[in-house]
Amino acid sequence: MHRRHRGETIRRRADTPSSSRDRGVSDDVVSIDSIEPDLAKASSTGAGDVAHDDESSLETGSRGTSASASSSDVEDVPDAGWWPSGGFPGLLDGFRAIPRGAHSRWNSPPTPLRELDETQVPKHIAIIMDGNARWAEKRRLPRTIGHERGVNALRQVVRCCGAWGVRTLTVFAFSHENWGRNASEVDELMALLETAMRDELPLLVEEGVRVEVIGDLNRVNEGLRDAVDRAMTATKDNDKMRLVVALSYGGRQDIVEAAKQIAREVAAGKLSVDDVNEHTFSSYLSTYDKTLASRDIHFAQAPDLLIRTSEQRLSNFLLWELAYTELYFANTMWPEFGEAELRRALHAYAKRDRRYGGRS
């Protein structure tokens, strides 16, 4: 188990679930004809996540900015009348909201990627999962159902990434700014995260996923911290894929903590000012794992591709790491995101010309 303390910021391994329910395919910036014949039959899945509201907008454009995907509306869902009386709804209640027959589709392996070779698949994908509460409100469902559907969507995305050769998936589960939401919603989200981490652990172990958590875990409750510790311990030897969960995380806060730690070491004579460069600074961020960086040739601290659903902004997520990341904006809410939408994003990414400021 690797644990690194920097001020109040803690880096741990943890587990966060994933998956979604099947949906119809929609129009996108990438045409279906350019992908594969059976993409039209592929489906996205639905669930709910944690929305991240911020003010800094991103430009849309081509290389290094954004592509967008659209999705048709989801099929009819049960009205709120099925909601159980009393108590916080568990993940089983989320399953009850799913159409019959969908469970087996969730457990089916993803369709293999076609027309993309290994070099065209991003090794590190980051996702801002946005739109859960709005998805639920639009359907007059309790907000918690939206967040539960996000768990299902993430499960499906994790399975796809593992099957398609993505080595690291970093997801924004709960932001530093989300603590400003009303207490009841925060409590709901903490309870859902704890339940999901416990319930999804067997699947993550089975899939060979190594779970990590970055962020200020001092602010979360003891039950969630215990679930994080249990998940990181159970998956620490897995090496098929890394699932990095940003929990109580903020990009600016992470940069500030790294700067403070460097300043302390310079003041103590452990580090020379002349030795501080971009690489050195990166190694003090919570996204850096010294052990993995030294032994895993696939370790990538900076994402190759960022996907955001619903909105077009960074919301204080991985601000240092995203300097040369390709940005892709899907015009769907996170509960509507699934295999088909992820496939579109990867095909859009494969068409980008990544020059890192140079010329081809």
Is 178 in contact with 50 (CB distance < 8 Å)?
yes
Task: Give the model's pLDDT for residue 360.
Answer: 59
Per-position b or e across 265-277, b if 16+ CB within 10 A of its CB: eeeeeebeeeebe
Q: Which CATH superfamily is domain 7-72+90-107+117-350 in?
A: Decaprenyl diphosphate synthase-like (3.40.1180.10)
pLDDT tens string, the chain, 360 residues long: the values are 444 444 444 444 444 444 433 333 333 333 333 334 344 344 443 333 344 443 333 333 333 444 444 443 333 333 333 333 344 444 444 444 444 444 444 467 899 988 899 999 999 999 999 999 999 999 999 999 999 999 999 999 999 999 999 999 999 999 999 999 999 989 999 999 999 999 999 989 999 999 999 999 999 999 999 999 999 999 999 999 999 999 999 999 999 999 999 999 999 999 999 999 999 999 999 999 988 888 887 789 999 999 999 999 999 999 999 999 999 999 999 999 999 999 999 999 999 988 877 775
Cα separation of the two ends of the chain = 42
Give the residue from 33, 59, 69, 50 showing the smallest Cα distance to 346: 69
Strand partners, 305: 125, 326
Is 235 in contact with 206 (CB distance < 8 Å)?
no
Spot the catalytic one: 132, 178, 238, 331. Answer: 178
Give the residue from 331, 278, 356, 334 showing the smallest Cα distance to 69: 331
Give the residue from 201, 188, 204, 191 showing the smallest Cα distance to 230: 201
CA dihedral 96, 100, 103, 106 (to 10 degrees): -110
Q: How open is the CA angle 147-68-52, to the nearest 5 degrees?
A: 35
Task: Give the model's pLDDT for residue 107.
Answer: 64
Q: What's the count of helices (H) and strands (E) in the chain, helices before strands?
A: 10, 9
Q: Which residues contact 117 (CB under 8 A, 6 or more apart)?
A: none
Give the full edge-to-edge strand order of the sheet including 124-128. Answer: 4-6, 9-12, 209-215, 241-249, 168-175, 124-128, 305-309, 326-331, 68-70
* Separation CA 147–CA 324 (nearest Å): 30
Q: Is 309 in a helix, a strand, or coil?
A: strand
Task: Give the model's pLDDT for residue 307.
Answer: 98
Is 14 in contact with 215 (CB distance < 8 Å)?
no
Spot the catalytic one: 15, 130, 229, 289. Answer: 130
Please report the DSSP string for 78-96 in residue order: --GGGPPSSS---HHHHHH
Q: How open is the CA angle 109-111-112, to the nearest 5 degrees?
A: 110
In this prediction the pTM is 0.72
Question: Annotated catalytic, 182?
Answer: no
* Separation CA 269–CA 7 (nearest Å): 19
Question: Annotated catalytic, 130?
Answer: yes
Give the chain's radius of gyration (CA, Å): 20
What is the distance of C-alpha 128 from the center of its chain? 6
Integer CA distances (angstroms), 343 to 44, 85, 199, 339, in order: 10, 39, 27, 6
* Separation CA 316–CA 256 (nearest Å): 13
